[in-house]
A and B are shown apart, each in its own frame.
Chain A
Amino acid sequence: MIFNSYVFWAFFAVVLFLYWRLPHRGQNLLLLVASYVFYGYWDWRYLGLLAVSTLIDFFVSNAIHREHDQRTRLRLLVFSIVANLGILGYFKYAGFFVKEFADLLGVLGFQANLPVLNILLPVGISFYTFQTMAYTIDVYRGVTKPATSLFDFALFVAFFPQLVAGPIERSAQLLPQLVKPRSLRSGDFAEGLYHILIGMLKKVVIADNLAPIVNRVFSTPAAELTSADVLIGVYAFAFQIYGDFSGYSSIAQGAAKWLGIDLSYNFKMPYFARSPSEFWQRWHITLSRWLRDYLYIPLGGNRRGPRRTYINLTLTMLLGGLWHGAAWTFVIWGAWHGLLLVAYRLVGVEKFEVRTSAWAAVLQAVLMFHLVCIGWLFFRADSFDQAIAMLAALGTAPALTDYAMYGAAMILFFAGPLMIYEWHVYRSEDMLLALRKSSWQRCAAYGYCLVMLLVFPPLVQQVFIYFQF
């Protein structure tokens, strides 16, 4: 069940209708059942995996909380982490590592007849695994208390708006909201509507209309592409993935808001970031925070001198890349971002983050956007060789082709208005800027979203890119 489908909105309407008629316990039970239906609609066989992950972390976290012996607590934590990463590793990485190992043996001259593993990746496994792992680590650290009700905890893991593609919520943020009775406060309807409309616009109008341009450029042999074609393909992908993923997060936030639950912001105008560290404070924020709190800081963060900081940054970003999938292109994408973080630190991060004139900020943002785009080239490419060949094509003499002009105009038409609005949001630092505007301005903005959704849906509907992660 995907957000840009009729079946989801019919399902959500039924849930919403029943939800506000029920008392608090009934609401939670309804949400839990709805979440399992939502997940099972994709493939019911993986419901068991979701339940197992829930049970492990519920019982282990409670055991950790009860236990006073530090070594036993640590053993329990290690058990939970191994179990979670074991499930994730098997489904997400086993096929990749078996193939790479077989290739390595082949290079060394050994004949390896290892089985080919074609394992179907359960949708959202990376998201809910990271959420439950963070919960158990937080209980171990004493940051959060364990859930006392299995049903509440199961809902925390499976809450359907954010189950399959985040935001990756912290227990301290989401669990208390589930445990306490909820009400629809003044402004919730408006905020939910705003998030849903802008999310649908990003996904349906921007991401899905740019997808054919991206697919065409990335399926054409690099030798047949001019630098302008490659540039347009990468720009289109930058806006496609942003529209796709931030659109999903926004719809999740809006749907949750109508259920009286606040979810975290996952994106805050990342393409106006002026440095890599600012970019990661604005792009997939909940994953960045997760990596910072559960990987970078435990590795030592920036407390052990510059050299160790650089190693920690690179290692964190490498693993962040690998989180996206079992492919070398993701690893290189992560390494590239690690390299950018290190390079900007070497130059002096503060130079880029100090408030300067609007023009200087624009220039810094344009530079950062292009550095991010180089990363996207690796992220989207089918192979390392393709990415390198496309990079080489970028270096050829500029030749403006008909297709590049077509692609550029499509990007401007679909993504341009949103980028103008987001620039104002970025400058005002107000994520709900539209809601502070006059009724007529809001009416015009919503009207724009509605007309674009009605008249410019994509010719072919696309699934959400981040479902594969």
Chain B
Amino acid sequence: MLKILRAPLRTTEAKIVLVLLACLIAADCALRIVDARLSGNIAHIETIPDLVQSIGSNAERSMLILGNSLTNNGVDEQIIASRLADVSLAKVTPDGTSLWDWRCLLEREVVRRHDVQIDAVVIGFAWHLLSDQTRADASRLGALYCDLNDLARPGSIGLSSFGDIGEFVLARASRIYALRDVLRHRVLSLVVPHYEAYTQQANEARAGRAQQQEAATYTYEHFSRMVASLQQKGIRLIVIAMPVQTDYELDPELLELAATGTIGLIDLRDAEGLDASMYRDAMHLNARGQQLLSEQLAVQLGGIFKKPS
């Protein structure tokens, strides 16, 4: 075989490929140094280890508020902190995340780390984002939230196909590929008129179509494993059903977990006093909505947090 391949490998083309690979590796390394400057979300993700460390290594009781943009826009940690005076608190809300990202993130930053101990994790969610049927973003998982070790059991992080695994590995290996959405957005926003507006429209339409594709049943097997893993480290999990402008139902399996006391559930889907004027779009709260929701959440968290877990 080597004899056969020797000739093609000696060609100029093979050398060109090697030069290109070297250039790509150099560009990748450069991108790893400056990637936090490319987007606020990446910068936020890079602060996660320090945020967790800051609350998990002191003697006070600690709470990690986790979620995505729903929680980021809906929860003001200052308001919560003012109501829970003896609790150190951090808010970790990277965009577009769901069960699989949160599972990897918690495993890596909370469960496996011996230098941090957190008392409670509070996750804001909507729809079926905590269910097994939530779609995993393999690229995001590989690049930002999981380790290569997690690939040993791809199903446990929501990877269901060979394509998902390929995407995970490529994003893990190449920062350029992992951050392609950010780079694409930067370049196309410069050269294509109205790019942001039409991309936003397309994304919303796609999200709408995805929501319409309801699964027959929603299961919570992986979520339960995540809860068990946290409990083993003495961490209580509380989930918040966040409000959005359209109604959604809570899944029976999730309600069952709450009913048995396995998790705490705060249902803020119909938060009192919240109306359409307090949303900036179909799902994200504006500043007024955030304040109102945070005050109600603080009251409820105060009630739960005083009880021994």
Chain A residues near B (Cβ < 8 Å): 5-7, 10, 17, 20-21, 183-184, 186-190, 193, 212, 216, 402-403, 405-406, 409-410, 413, 439, 442-443, 446-447, 450-451, 454-457, 459-460
Contacts and interface: CB of A to CB of B under 8 A. Distances in A.
A450 B27 CA distance: 13
Contact of B20 (A20, A212, A405, A443): A443
B192 A7 contact: no
Contacts of B194: 402-403, 405-406
B192 A447 contact: no
Contacts of B203: 459
B165 interface: yes
Interface stretch (B101-109, B172-180, B275-283, B285-293): B172-180
Given A443-B19, A455-B176, A7 B166 contact: yes
Interface stretch (B63-71, B118-126, B183-191): B183-191
A447 B1 CA distance: 28
B259 interface: no
Interface string B23-45: 11000000000000000000000
A371 B140 CA distance: 44
A184 B17 contact: no
7 contacts: A190-B12, A403-B198, A406-B194, A409-B191, A413-B192, A450-B20, A455-B180
Interface residues of B, number: 43
Interface of chain A, main secondary structure: helix
A241 to B, nearest CB: 20
A447 B17 CA distance: 9
Interface stretch (B3-11, B91-99, B248-256): B3-11
Contacts of A447: 20, 23
A20 B1 contact: yes
Contacts of A212: 202
Contact of A457 (B4, B13, B14, B180): B180
Contacts of B19: 443
Contacts of A187: 11
A5 B170 CA distance: 12
Contacts of B193: 402, 405-406, 409
Given A413-B188, A439-B12, A446-B20, 9 more contacts: A5-B163, A186-B7, A409-B191, A442-B16, A446-B17, A447-B20, A455-B183, A455-B184, A457-B180
A6 B17 contact: no
B8 A443 contact: no
Contact of B4 (A184, A405, A455): A184
Give the interface centre of A187, A188, A442, A443 by most chain B CB atoms within 10 Å.
Answer: A443
Contact of B163 (A6, A184, A409): A6
A428 to B, nearest CB: 20
A403 B202 CA distance: 12
A442 to B, nearest CB: 6
A431 B163 CA distance: 33
Contacts of A186: 7-8, 11
B12 A10 contact: no
Interface in B152-181: 161-163, 165-167, 170, 174, 176-177, 180
A405 B198 CA distance: 11
B11 A6 contact: no
B206 interface: yes
Given A7-B166, A10-B166, A457-B180, A443 B24 contact: no
A10 B162 contact: yes
Contacts of B167: 6
Contacts of B206: 459-460
B194 to A, nearest CB: 5
Contacts of B15: 439
Contact of A454 (B8, B13, B16, B180): B180
A7 B7 contact: no
Contacts of B202: 212, 216, 459
A459 B162 CA distance: 19
A99 B198 CA distance: 39
B56 to A, nearest CB: 36
Contacts of A460: 206
Contacts of A455: 176-177, 180, 183-184, 187
B32 to A, nearest CB: 15
Given A186-B7, A406-B192, A454 B176 contact: yes
Contacts of A20: 1, 4-5
Contacts of A406: 192-195, 198
Contacts of A17: 1
A365 to B, nearest CB: 26
A190 B13 contact: yes
Given A6-B166, A212-B202, A409-B193, A454 B11 contact: no
B7 A450 contact: no
B7 A184 contact: yes
A7 B162 contact: yes
Contacts of B16: 439, 442-443, 446
B14 to A, nearest CB: 7
Contacts of B176: 451, 454-455
A20 B183 CA distance: 39
Contact of A188 (B8, B12, B14, B183): B8
A456 B184 contact: yes
A448 B29 CA distance: 19
Contacts of A216: 202
B23 to A, nearest CB: 7
Nearest to A443: B16
Contacts of B7: 184, 186
A189 B174 CA distance: 25
A8 to B, nearest CB: 10
Contacts of A6: 162-163, 165-167, 170
B185 to A, nearest CB: 10
Nearest to B27: A451
A148 to B, nearest CB: 27
Given A6-B166, A184-B4, A189-B11, A456 B180 contact: yes
Nearest to A216: B202
Interface in B182-231: 183-184, 187-188, 191-195, 197-199, 202-203, 206
Contacts of A451: 176
A455 B199 CA distance: 16
